[in-house]
Structures are given as C-alpha cells and as structure tokens.
Amino acid sequence: MTLEVQSIWFEAGKYSEAKAAEWCVDHDLKTDDIGMREEEELITHWIVRQFPTSEAIEDTWQRISKGWPDGITATMCERKAMDESKGYSTFQIKSFDEEQRIIRGIASTPETDREGDIVMPKGAKFTLPFPLLAQHDHNQPVGMVTRATVSDDGIEIEAQLPKDSQLSYVERTWRQVKAGLLRGLSIGFRATKAEAIKTGRKFLDYEIFELSLVTVPANAGASVSTVKQYDDADIDLEQQLLSAEAEVADVKSRAAAAIKKATLLTTK
C-alpha cells in the first residue's frame, strides 16, 4: 500500500495561518486549500489539504507525527487511481477528407456520461500531436490528433489516419469509420484535479494522452452525425464481426466499472 499526504495539520497555538502556508511553500506543498478545526469556537488547527478527501480510499487513513516538526502532524491515506481515466463524448464530424484521411469534429463535451462522470473541456491539457487509437488499444495506434481547440462546448479536433499504411488494422478502422460502425469518440487522460458530484466525479484538470474511436461510448449522445465523403468499398463480413467483438469488449469494460462502483457504494 502506498500512502500519500492528504492534509498537514498545524497547531494554532504554535502556527498562524500565514506561517502554516509559508512552511508548506518552503517544503513544496500545496497551499490552495486551507481550512481550520474549531473546538468550542476556538481554532485548534490549520489544515492544509493536498488533495480532496473524496479521492481517498477508506480504511487506509493514518495520522503521523513522527519525523514532523513539533506542532505539525500529517494525515496520510492511499489515493484512488486517477491516471487511467476515460472521458466519453459526443462525436460530431464536421468534415471528412477522403484524400488526406482527415477527420474534424468535437472530441469532448461537458455532458454527464453513463458512468456519472463529467469531463470539463476547459480543464484539458495536451501536447500536439497525440495518438489516435481504436477502442483504447495502445498496441494499435491508427493515426494522430494534429489540432485541438478548447471551448466551453467541447474540444474541436482534427485527426489524420495514414493513407496506404499497409497495416490491416488501420485500414479496417478507416473502413469502419466510413461505414458508421465506429460511432463514438473518447479521450484517455490522467486527472490532476477532480471533485465529487452526486453521480460520480467532475474532472476539472487533466492531461489528455490519447483519443480513441470507440463502438459504444458512455455518453448517451455519442454518435457520428454525418460522413460527407467516402468511397464505395464494401464492408465485408469479417469487418462486421470485428465490430461486434469490439462492441462486446467495450460493454464488458463499462459493466466491470459499474460493478466496481456499486461494490464501493455498498461497502461504505
């Protein structure tokens, strides 16, 4: 079990709020969330939180004073994994360049997805270009996201798949997109700031590391609205079966996430 410092507690009789903040700055700790503990209307401690308690795993809490200066203690706990999250969104293709294999559209919206989470578009951080995948399979990249513009309504993206790649899975993905078999888009990201909401979590700051074409997105409105240009290549039975298998895999993944969430709720 790996414990992280969730809060630092400063005895009010030995530290003022300003001194507590100064100590944290000197030790490279966050100071943007400072609270207090009161007893009988007197402040007993200043509490400097390093991450929200909603991100803590229950039954892992420890309070530690050994090794800390006099008047300072720390509460530590195991933190929920935040580094492999996926945010699902409405995928609306604005244009589709057959010659260059370029897709332009909306990659993220602030709607609540089927898992109860919200991904705020303006919290996105990314470095271009970043990978375009199919079904979040990191072993089979199908292209690159070359442009991304953030607004209140979502993240407008431009992605390109290589032409004549000689890679069967890339060519298959391209044909599936044109045929409307891959109808969703989702982002893979590492969250750096989130808050609890009634249905799940709201991700406020996060780093996007990949964008994926998916079969069954978690967002209820996730679908490709239009495909303006495509050739007349037939979609064969093998492609249909592969699409169905991908859909089943995605459904299983979402079901496992739902079971995990339900288990956590029933054990609290």
What's the predicted TM-score (pTM) here?
0.53
Alpha carbon distances (Å) from 121 to 151, 153, 202, 248: 7, 7, 11, 28
The pLDDT score that the predictor gives to residue 203 is 85
How confident is the model over 121-139, as pLDDT tens digits? Answer: 899 999 999 999 888 788 7
Dump pLDDT digits (tens) for 72-99: 999 999 887 654 556 655 455 566 677 7
pLDDT at site 230? 31
Query: Residue 116's pLDDT is what?
Result: 74
Whether 129 contacts 146, CB under 8 Å: yes
CA distances from residue 66 to 16, 75, 86, 204, 225 in whole angstroms, order as listed: 22, 12, 39, 34, 60
Quote the CA–CA distance of 159 and 258 in Å, as a whole number: 31
Q: What is the pLDDT of residue 114?
A: 62
pLDDT at 63 over 60: yes
Confidence (pLDDT) at 40: 85
